[in-house]
Amino acid sequence: MLKRVLFLLFLTSNLFAGDLLDNWAPGKTETMTYEIKTIVPRETINYNNVVITRPADNKDILSVKQTLDISNQGIKIVSEEIYAFKDLRLSSSVNHFFMPPVAVEKLGTDSLIVKANRKGDTLFITTNSDKVPPGSMPFTNNMTTTTGSQLFARNMDFTIGKNHKYSYVNLLRVSGQSFQMMEVTDSIVSIEKITTPLGTFDCYKVLNTVPGALGYSYYTTDSRHLPVLVELLYPETKEKVMTLTLQKYE
């Protein structure tokens, strides 16, 4: 189930021409809180908090901090990434997993740290556990990670009918195997009205496709392109299994 949660949260899109950055002044911070509802096999509620900042004293970067509380599994994940403002290329990523006691036996620690640093077109990954292999991989302009994905998606070209192909590495996936790139396709489908606890919004509907998974993301049509709703479906039946809904925005 954790794998599904992480897929839902980080349906990513790489950088395409958009107007988000034109409206992000130095010193601006956005805070968004999401409800994560698992529908099947049983209903559970968890929460995700995202803070995006362009520091007034360092306007050339954007920082993205994400805190995921999976309370029903005793897991908390805090991810912090730094991006260059001009092109949204990743500089560094630190992902801290606070695991339940049962994880100690498998991982040798209840606090797992995965770090990644980009040097040129290569991403170098290190960890504090021999159960999670470190490594390096090519990391070019059409590649991204997970925590900053909402920001990337909000800056893409939302023209109806557009398809965007890219790759991403999920640094929040702890499987005991080496980290790998996954190919993704985002397709801009239509404009729909979406109602959330914050109100009703005109939104771009985006089909997110990765191998073995399917979902829809909804971004407001204004210049903020806020991701207000994400839906995860079973690819075979199109049954809705999980939603991510914006609850609070500051």
pLDDT tens digits, residue range 111-143? 889 999 999 999 999 998 887 889 999 998 878
CA geometry: angle 34, 36, 41, nearest 5 deg: 170
Cα–Cα dist 64/181, whole Å = 21
Residue 152: pLDDT over 80: no
Q: What percent of the chain has pLDDT over 90?
A: 50
Q: Give the pLDDT band of residue 174 (cuts 50, 70, 90).
A: confident
Of 199 and 237, more confident: 199
Residue 20: pLDDT over 90: no
- The predicted model gives 14-43 an average pLDDT of 79
| Mean pLDDT computed over every residue of the chain | 85
Residue 8: pLDDT over 70: no
